[in-house]
């Protein structure tokens, strides 16, 4: 403990990257998926790394100074992007040996503890090359707000080809089943990771080819912009989790400004979940649940009739057990 206090000031000197007696290296990384939302787009904060820039999530190794994993994460993010984090939750710990190229000569393992953070302002991160990106750049097939994404056509083709390629009959059936579930007629917005994994396994994702050591190009199209290491997989995990969570926890408000209109709130939810919602029903839900209260202000009419400004009613947290926007995308609105 004294040790801790003494070291607290030192920067970056105490990374825990250690050698086991068998000569394999082990490092523990902390990665952050930092989400914000502008008017109409969900954003994720990325760093541009390298000469031919590849995008990465803010991350860094766990250090001895860090009292908790979360504290370590906050420190790294601030150091790299200048962003202060508010809402933070642990996402998942990735540790497969095969999926991450350590870039080392020795066999090694990289354990990554990934976190999801929600922030309010989307002002470009202070330091380095931190930039806010529309997350659909990485997952173009996840945005159904203006109808079925065009990318899904070739993706389905690729996936069904992949299904057919399984060596056994059982394998083919299993693959078809997985594809059917992930891309079923009734679009399930939360299956982001499942879909990513399918595309990855089917070789429709750049990272897959990279991990296999394949030539940069070859073997049909790939989809979405790629990211460093397994960061796109982490991002997929985060999006899926967030899409699920807004339905039973009032986390969207972590992304909203202090005062906002109901339409702004709806647009944000739509941006995150990737589907359009029925306006009147959305308002009914939000108001019935007592999620917001009027601020008294009135919006500087952007289009038509001016709207009331509202703010999040923190008290709901004490009242209802699971206050959220259990949105169920209007059926009509999904395929217009």
Partner DNA sequence: CCCTAAATGCTCAAAGTGAGCATATTACCA
Partner DNA sequence: TGGTAATATGCTCACTTTGAGCATTTAGGG
Interface residues with DNA (CB under 7 A) are 261-263, 278-281, 283-285, 288, 299, 301-308, 326, 328, 330-333
Residue 303 interface partner, choices DNA, its own copies, none, CB cut-off 5-8 Å depending on type: DNA
1 makes contact with its own copies (CB under 8 A): yes
Q: What's the min distance (Å) between Cβ of 301 and DNA? A: 5
Burial class (CB in 10 A: 0-12, 13-18, 19+), 28: buried
Residues with Cβ < 8 Å from 80, sequence gap 6 or more?
Answer: 47, 58, 60, 125, 127, 128, 130
User: What is the rounded CA–CA span in Å between residue 190 and residue 274?
Assistant: 10
User: What is the rounded CA–CA span in Å between residue 41 and residue 307?
Assistant: 21
| Nearest residue to 74 (alpha-carbon basis) of 32, 36, 29 | 32
98 makes contact with its own copies (CB under 8 A): yes
Residue 64 interface partner, choices DNA, its own copies, none, CB cut-off 5-8 Å depending on type: its own copies
Residues with Cβ < 8 Å from 96, sequence gap 6 or more?
Answer: none
166 makes contact with its own copies (CB under 8 A): no
| Residue among 109 and 283 whose Cβ is closer to its own copies | 109
Burial class (CB in 10 A: 0-12, 13-18, 19+), 150: exposed
| Residue among 106 and 295 whose Cβ is closer to its own copies | 106
Q: Judged by CB under 8 A, which stretch of 78-86, 181-189, 221-229, 266-274 contacts its own copies?
A: 181-189
| Residue among 21 and 305 whose Cβ is closer to DNA | 305
Contact 252, 324 (CB under 8 A): no
8 makes contact with its own copies (CB under 8 A): no
> Pairing relation of β-strands 108-118 and 25-37?
parallel
Residue 131 interface partner, choices its own copies, DNA, none, CB cut-off 5-8 Å depending on type: none
Question: What's the CA dihedral at 135, 139, 141, 145 to 10 degrees?
Answer: -10
Which residue reads 């250690």 in tokens?
A: 18
Q: What's the min distance (Å) between Cβ of 108 and its own copies? A: 9
Residue 332 interface partner, choices its own copies, DNA, none, CB cut-off 5-8 Å depending on type: DNA
| Residue among 97 and 284 whose Cβ is closer to its own copies | 97
Phi, psi of 48 (to 5 degrees): -95, 120
Q: What's the min distance (Å) between Cβ of 311 and its own copies? A: 19
- Summarize as ranges the residues that interact with its own copies (CB under 8 A): 1, 3-4, 13-22, 24, 26, 28, 62, 64, 66-69, 90, 92-93, 95-98, 107, 109, 111, 113, 177, 180-181, 184, 186, 188, 317-318, 321
């Amino acid at each position: 403990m004294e040790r801790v206090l003494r070291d607290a000031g030192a920067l970056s000197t105490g990374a825990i990257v250690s050698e086991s007696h068998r000569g394999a290296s082990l490092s523990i990384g902390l990665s952050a998926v930092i989400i914000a939302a502008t008017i109409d787009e969900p954003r994720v904060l990325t760093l541009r790394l390298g000469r031919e820039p590849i995008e990465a999530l803010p991350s860094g190794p766990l250090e001895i100074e860090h009292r908790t994993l979360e504290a370590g994460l906050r420190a790294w993010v601030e150091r790299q992007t200048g962003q202060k984090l508010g809402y933070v939750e642990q996402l998942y710990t990735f540790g497969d040996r095969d999926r991450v190229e350590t870039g080392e000569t020795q066999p090694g393992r990289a354990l990554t503890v990934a976190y999801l953070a929600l922030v309010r302002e989307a002002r470009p991160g202070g330091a380095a090359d931190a930039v806010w990106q529309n997350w659909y750049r990485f997952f173009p097939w996840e945005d159904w707000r203006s109808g079925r994404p065009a990318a899904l056509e070739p993706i389905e083709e690729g996936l069904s080809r992949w299904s057919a390629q399984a060596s056994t009959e059982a394998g083919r059936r299993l693959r078809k089943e997985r594809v059917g579930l992930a891309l079923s007629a009734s679009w399930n917005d939360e299956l982001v990771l499942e879909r990513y994994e399918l595309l990855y396994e089917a070789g429709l994702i750049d990272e897959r080819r990279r991990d296999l050591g394949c030539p940069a190009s070859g073997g049909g199209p790939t989809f979405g912009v790629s990211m460093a290491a397994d960061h796109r997989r982490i991002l997929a995990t985060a999006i899926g989790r967030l899409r699920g969570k807004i339905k039973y926890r009032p986390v969207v408000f972590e992304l909203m400004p202090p005062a906002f209109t109901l339409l702004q709130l709806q647009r944000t939810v739509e941006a995150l979940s990737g589907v359009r919602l029925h306006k009147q029903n959305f308002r009914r839900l939000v108001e019935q649940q007592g999620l917001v209260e009027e601020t008294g202000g009135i919006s500087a009419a952007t289009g038509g009739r001016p709207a009331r400004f509202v703010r999040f009613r923190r008290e709901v947290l004490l009242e209802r057990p699971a206050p959220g926007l259990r949105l169920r995308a209007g059926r009509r609105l999904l395929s217009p």
